[in-house]
């Protein structure tokens, strides 16, 4: 089976959210132990990953140095974090595979994601990133061309475009490596955002792309049988935070769409993961799984997780609850 695994932020930082280099190395090492079990089970694996904490660190450096050197643009931040996280994955996944008697080579690609220059997000940036700052600290960044908003008592915060992913430009290279037996790391942080100008040239832009939505685009492009979105819980949950809360098990596309339309999944947490899962299945390319990082191998075996399937592939047993 060809599987695309999208690793969330919990795979990149320590249990307490620490993003020190040592905490990141240890967290990625733990994540790769779980990924290695999927590879050892005989699956072809492509990995994508988040980069929020890492880009956040770079933004702080931008802020502190803005009066001395020009801030690094967001596309550069994305490229830098892809490189750092990618080589750390190489350093930890290779020994994890060796421990299991596997000799698969691993490659990490610096990956660009094409977006539409006319995407409405560019006209009205709304995605908040980075820290809140007092105006006197935000002003040098504003003078460098960044968009910041006054958020009242909390201070000023930067807002950027979050356009829809259209295409991962390095897909052909990825497929070549996959065909040669590699485990491939690609589209980190949703990919480096780029647009194509009228003359065909490609250039980076100041934006952030939702990593799970890019994972769905890439999973379709490589013909994946399953899109696995790894997070910090075993299942998506209905009526979260109420006495009626219950985990979602195996569901059809229509059932999960109905739950999403009912506002069951918060836009700031589970919502984008559910949307990515729905998009992949909606295109008829396989099944989507949302589950905890340490259960991804079990979820592929059908033992745990929220599994979204097309109606023609499998029957459904909606929520895992005797109350339904």
* Alpha carbon distance 223, 254 (integer Å): 22
Indicate which residue of 51, 249, 273, 286 is catalytic. Answer: 273
Specify whether the CB–CB gap between 28 and 311 falls below 8 A.
no
Sign of the torsion formed by the C-alpha atoms of 81, 84, 89 and 90: positive
Sequence-ordered alpha helix ranges (H) in 41-170 = 52-65, 74-99, 120-123, 135-143
- Here the tokens at position 300 are 């592929």
- Here the tokens at position 109 are 């690609």
62 labelled catalytic: no
211 labelled catalytic: yes
154 labelled catalytic: no
**Distance separating the N- and C-terminal Cα atoms of the chain:** 32
Q: Quote the strand ranges of the chain, DSSP E.
A: 2-7, 44-49, 106-108, 112-115, 127-133, 148-150, 156-160, 165-168, 183-185, 192-196, 202-204, 226-231, 237-238, 246-247, 250-252, 287-292, 306-309
3-state secondary structure of 212: helix
What's the Cα-to-Cα distance from 198 to each of 201, 207, 236, rounded to whole Å? 7, 20, 42
Indicate which residue of 51, 62, 78, 211 is catalytic. Answer: 211
Indicate which residue of 14, 56, 57, 127 is catalytic. Answer: 127
- Measured CA angle at 111 (ends 109, 108), to 5 deg: 15
317: Cα separation from own chain's centroid: 27
Residue 215: its H or E element = helix 211-221
Q: Which residues are catalytic?
A: 9-10, 127, 211, 273
């Amino acid at each position: 089976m060809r599987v695309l695994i999208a690793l969330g932020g919990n795979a990149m930082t320590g249990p307490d959210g620490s993003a020190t280099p040592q905490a990141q190395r240890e967290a990625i090492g733990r994540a790769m132990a779980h990924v290695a079990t999927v590879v050892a089970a005989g699956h072809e694996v492509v990995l994508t990953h988040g980069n929020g904490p890492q880009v956040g660190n770079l933004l702080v450096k931008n802020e502190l140095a803005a009066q001395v050197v020009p801030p690094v643009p967001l596309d550069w931040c994305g490229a830098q974090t892809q490189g750092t996280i990618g080589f750390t994955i190489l350093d930890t996944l290779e020994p994890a595979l060796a421990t299991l008697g596997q000799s698969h080579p691993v490659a990490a690609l610096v990956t660009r994601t094409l977006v539409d220059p006319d995407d409405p997000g560019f006209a009205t940036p709304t995605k908040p990133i980075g820290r809140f700052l007092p105006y006197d600290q935000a002003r040098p960044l504003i003078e460098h061309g960044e968009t910041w908003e006054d958020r009242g008592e909390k201070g000023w915060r930067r807002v950027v475009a979050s356009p829809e992913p259209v295409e991962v430009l390095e897909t052909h290279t990825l497929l070549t490596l996959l065909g040669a037996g590699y485990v491939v790391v690609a589209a980190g942080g949703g990919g480096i955002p780029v647009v194509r100008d009228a003359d065909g040239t490609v250039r980076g832009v100041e934006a952030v792309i939702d990593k799970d939505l890019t994972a769905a685009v890439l999973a379709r492009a490589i013909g994946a049988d399953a899109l696995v979105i790894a997070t910090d819980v075993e299942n998506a949950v209905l009526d979260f935070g109420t006495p009626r809360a219950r985990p979602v098990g195996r569901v059809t596309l229509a059932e999960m769409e109905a739950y999403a339309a009912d506002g069951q999944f918060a836009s700031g947490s589970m919502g984008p993961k559910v949307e990515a899962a729905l998009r992949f299945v909606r295109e008829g390319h396989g099944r989507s799984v949302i589950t905890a990082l340490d259960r991804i191998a079990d979820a592929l075996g059908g033992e745990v997780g929220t599994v979204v399937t097309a109606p023609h592939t499998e029957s459904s047993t909606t929520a895992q609850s005797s109350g339904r």
